[in-house]
Structure 1
């Protein structure tokens, strides 16, 4: 069966806020509670992961990720509740977009 696949992203003033790769990075941060471990799991440099997280936080009034530097109790990186909500909202939007595109594609195929 033929299906349409697409990649969407959300921009803020011309800058990418969220996209498929960034959502995957957020999920890995949530899973590992570490930017370094998340980057490694995605075969990405720490520097790139940090830049992506910083860009997402900068585009948002509410941070998606909070980092705590090391110390007596150690550091860690945590996804905020808002970050978790954005994952769900983005994935819902992406699923709806693909469903719409497939409906349109099937309608086109039937009209031929």
Structure 2
């Protein structure tokens, strides 16, 4: 446990959306989408969040298959290199997911306040 996390307790509601036995969307996939949006590249995004390129590519492929339209548009490499960008749906999915987290956190504040009193934060 890091010093910062040992002094304060935090509540982080996270969702996993499954479809046909696959995780269509979850916290790691949303983090990856955000990194792709920042970097314009699956490989750079993978490096940024500490994933292998193979793992990141598999996550993107799963998300793209689970949604009616792709969340990430890829372009093939070549002389100028390839790239990736979020689609409008991809950005919308991130926004909705983060909104769900925020709303969930607000909804459980009374319970969290009561529960957090019992945590050993010393």
Q: Fold conserved (TM > 0.5)? A: yes
From 44, 69, 90, the equivalent of 2:51 is 44
Q: Could you list the per-position Cα deviations for residues 21-49 of structure 1 after superposition, in whole angstroms to 9, with x for gaps in the alignment?
A: 11110011111111110000011100000
Q: Provide structure 2 residue ranges, at least 5 long, that are not aligned to the other structure.
A: 1-7, 117-122
Task: State whether structure 2 residue 92 is matched by structure 1 residue 75.
Answer: no
> Would the aligned equivalents of 1:4 and 1:102 in 2 still touch at CA under 8 Å?
no
Aligned-partner SS, 1:24? helix
Q: How many angstroms apart in 2 are the aligned matches of 1:82 and 1:66?
A: 11
Q: Once the 2 structures are TM-superposed, how far is the Cα of residue 19 of structure 1 from its aligned partner?
A: 1.1
Q: Aligned-pair RMSD on alpha carbons?
A: 2.1
Mean CA deviation greater in 19-28 or 4-13: 4-13
Partner residue in 2 for 1:12: 19
Distance 1:31 1:5, change over 3 A: closer
User: How do 1:19-98 residues align onto structure 2 when only pairs under 5 Å count?
Assistant: 19-71=26-78, 73-98=80-105
Q: Alignment length, in residue pairs?
A: 109
Task: State whether structure 2 residue 83 is matched by structure 1 residue 100.
Answer: no
Q: Provide structure 1 residue ranges, at least 5 long, that are not aligned to the other structure.
A: none
Q: How many angstroms apart in 1 are the aligned matches of 2:32 and 2:9?
A: 29
Aligned-partner SS, 1:17? strand
